[in-house]
Amino acid sequence: MRIVTLALLITIGASLSGCATQPNAPEIVGEPRAAIDKKEVRIYNKRPTGSEEIAHLSTTYALATRTTDEEKLAYAIGRLQTQAARLGANVIVITDVARESSSAGTIIRGITSDASAEVIAANAYIKVTATAYYSSSIGAGRAK
C-alpha cells in the first residue's frame, strides 16, 4: 500500500511541476498584428512614445533548469519575445521579475519507512512579466 501511495505522489508531483514551468497565455489588451520574427522584438526600459499596447505577457522558469541567474533570465526573456512576436509586437518592456514558490512538486520523505514523514518544499521558480507593444518607429511588424 505504501508503494502505491508513493508512486501516486510522485506521479502527481511530476505532473504539477510541469505545469508550473509552462509559459502563461498572453492577455490581449490591444490589436494584434501579423506575426514577426522573434529576433525583431526589442527590449526597452520604458514604453516607446506613440506605441500601441498589444498584450500583457508572463512566463515562469524553474530555478534548477539553468546554471546561472543570467541564463535563467535570458531564457525567460526569450520566451516573452516569442510570445510578443506571435502577436506582431516589436517591443517588450519587462515589468516585474519575482521569485515565487508552489506546493506543486512537494516531496514527502519517510513515507515508506517507520520514520516520521518529512515535507521538503518544491523548488522556487521565477515569474517574469512584460508588456508587449507595437511601435511604427521601430520598423518591425506589419498590420494584418
23 confidence band (pLDDT: 50, 70, 90): very low
Assign 138 a pLDDT band (cuts: 50, 70, 90). confident
Q: Which three cell numbers stand for residue 132?
A: 508587449
pLDDT for 55 = 97
3-state helix, strand, coil in the chain (%, to 5): 30, 30, 40
What pLDDT does 85 receive? 97
How far is the C-alpha of 128 from the C-alpha of 79, rounded, in Å? Answer: 10
Average pLDDT (19-43) is: 84
Amino acid 106: pLDDT: 56
Tell me, what DSSP letter sits at residue 123?
P
d(CA 58, CA 27): 9
Torsion of CA 19, 112, 4, 21, to 10 degrees: 10
Determine the 3-state secondary structure of 21 from DSSP: coil
pLDDT at 41 over 60: yes
